[in-house]
Amino acid sequence: MDNMEDRIFKYIVGIVFLCSLLSCEEKLDNYDTETCWLRFNLSQLADTLQSRSFVYLGDDAETDTVWIDVKTIGSMKDYDRKITFTQVMTDTTNAEAGKHYIAFDDLALANAYVIPANQIKARVPVIFKRDVSLKNMDVLLEFVIGSNDDFQPGFVKPDRIQVWLTDRLARPSNWNMYLDYYIGSYDRGLHECLIHITGEKWDYDYLYDVLGFIIPEDSWTYTNDNYEDAYFQYLIGVWQQLLDNEIDILVCTTLIETGVDVRNCNTLIIENADRMGLSQLYQIRGRVGRSSRKAYAYFTFTRDKVLTEIAAKRLSAIREFTSFGSGFRIAMRDLQIRGAGSLLGHSQHGHMEAVGYDLYVKMLGQAIAAARGEAPAPDKSDCLVDITVDAFLPEEYIPDAAGRIEAYKRIAAIETTSDAEDVLDELIDRYGSPPKSVQGLVDVSLVRVTAARVGIAEIVQRGDQLILYSDIVGPKQLGEVMEKFPHRVLYNALGRPYFSLRVQKGESPLVLLRDVVTLLPGAQGEKEK
């Protein structure tokens, strides 16, 4: 009965809320929650550029398929939604639809190019054709997600995919990662020799599956992310060998501190245990004794080494608390040894240099406000700004690196319009008239202060839309904004609340953003007044 009354109450509150919105003088005509976006769902950056050769598929292969993962952003629907790919035409993209690949709008692919009902992702094929021209030339296909009635292109990078296609022996896209370290850059003759000697294809899959685990870490290049997956798979194999009793001794780092369960291990030896924290020692000790077998943990340190008082207390504590469920007592003992930190009290730990002077001053202000029972003042770092604007200090303007760092610090400390004017005057006196990018950097810093003051947590630009996320700013606070910018305001209260404005052609996003935030209640703080 109580649940029924709660549900009825919620319905009444919802109806009252909707009625209040409908009765407002200013209607949010652009309110829209039905828009859905589609983006590429790539696990590796290497997937954005692939090299495909029919040579590796044999003489009988007529087609080759590249599978593309896509994911939706927005509401899930109870019907199939169409996926649209659009070829990007440039001076270097020479793939021809129907000749080198099956066209994206071909009816044969209609059933494959959909997001199924009640699903948010799909894997769709791009099918390449073995044309005779590929014997003498390489072709490049570049494509993006196109707009249709179901989706708009997503705003998550990367937003396009490139595929090189040939019917000749070609360099695999991961050759540089795995073989440059040993045998140098790619050479077609060398490639043919490796194939002839080993009988392997030495294509992308072979390099990834076989060589990905054995390349020294210092030879890895960070242009691709697939080394992480390869190394992860290698670690899985090692752990499986340990579980299967194929290896008896494992030498490792503190990586095993948490989350590792190897029940057949019953002996643990920790080297230089005096250099580790008490909670860390406790967690590592827990890796053994996880079955019915009696376990042993040996904590060692260098012979004849004089331990510090704290190190001796840690080792004594880990030896003392061995019973089941002693984690809490270990934590309390650790607290007794290290003490509890307090920025304004007598038990202060650490040094200001560890966090930097600026962060220390911020933390000190927050601690003083908390001690007084006051809410901490808004900080511009609480607001993230990501818009299309030049905002940096060019080396040509301030050649000295130390001078640029000092200028960045001065600009970051801007709180008021007068501060911004003082910074610009100082830069003009020292380096001359600032370029547009410097003025943009100052304006962004000033906008961040105002935005944080009115309760805006994040500002991003997606195409021609400025999106401002805030849990504080609602329809009531947007009255002046909607009055000055009619039919350009959209408010969304679902999920993470935000409001957005459309940037008109030729309009500066930064100027528009500055005008908007200054119209919001509370924009004129005490310092500005």
User: What residue ranges define each of the domains in the chain, with the CATH number in brackets?
Assistant: 37-166 (2.60.40.1740), 175-233 (no CATH), 254-338 (3.40.50.300), 340-377 (no CATH), 380-519 (3.90.1150.50)
User: In terms of pLDDT, which residue wins out, 347 or 85?
Assistant: 85
pLDDT given for residue 509 in this prediction: 85
User: In terms of pLDDT, which residue wins out, 298 or 178?
Assistant: 298
Q: Mean pLDDT check: name the lowest of 24-33, 174-183, 370-379, 412-421.
A: 24-33
Beta bridge partners of 297: 268
Residue 205 one-letter amino acid: D
CB 43 within 8 A of CB 229: yes
**How far are the Cα atoms of 247, 402, 427, 436 from residue 422, in angstroms, in the given order?**
68, 20, 9, 17
Rg of the chain taking only CA atoms, in angstroms = 31
Length of the chain: 529
Q: Mean pLDDT check: name the lowest of 138-152, 172-186, 208-222, 393-407.
A: 208-222
The DSSP call for residue 294 is -
User: In terms of pLDDT, which residue wins out, 218 or 103?
Assistant: 103
At residue 25, the 3 state secondary structure works out as: coil
Question: How high does pLDDT run on average in the chain?
Answer: 78
Has residue 129 got a pLDDT over 90?
yes
Select from 407, 467, 424, 416 the least CA-distant residue to 446. Answer: 416
Residue 63 one-letter amino acid: T
As given in the structure block, the two tokens for residue 28 are 């949010």
As given in the structure block, the two tokens for residue 2 are 């109580």
**How far are the Cα atoms of 365, 369, 375, 377, 527 from residue 372, in angstroms, in the given order?**
11, 5, 9, 13, 21
Judge if the upstream peptide bond of residue 378 is cis by omega within 30 degrees of 0. Answer: no
Select from 394, 377, 474 the least CA-distant residue to 432. Answer: 394
pLDDT given for residue 215 in this prediction: 46
- Print burial letters for 397-429: b (CB count within 10 Å at least 16), e (below 16): bbeeeeebeebeebbeebebeebbeebbeebee
Q: How confident is the model at residue 223 (pLDDT cuts 50, 70, 90)?
A: very low
Whole-angstrom distance, CA of residue 182 vs CA of residue 336: 54
pLDDT given for residue 62 in this prediction: 92
Select from 164, 165, 167 the least CA-distant residue to 132. Answer: 167
Looking at the chain, the whole-number percentage of residues with pLDDT higher than 70 is 77
Select from 280, 267, 284, 282 the least CA-distant residue to 318. Answer: 282
Hey, what's the torsion of the CAs at 499, 505, 506, 507, to 10 degrees?
Answer: -10
CB 56 within 8 A of CB 134: no
User: In terms of pLDDT, which residue wins out, 447 or 171?
Assistant: 447
Strands (E), 388-488: 458-462, 465-469
As given in the structure block, the two tokens for residue 198 are 């080993």
Whole-angstrom distance, CA of residue 180 vs CA of residue 220: 10
As given in the structure block, the two tokens for residue 116 are 């199924």
* Mean pLDDT value across residues 103-119: 92
Beta bridge partners of 97: 101
The DSSP bridge pattern shows strands 489-492 and 152-153 to be: unpaired
Has residue 104 got a pLDDT over 90?
yes
Beta bridge partners of 386: 460
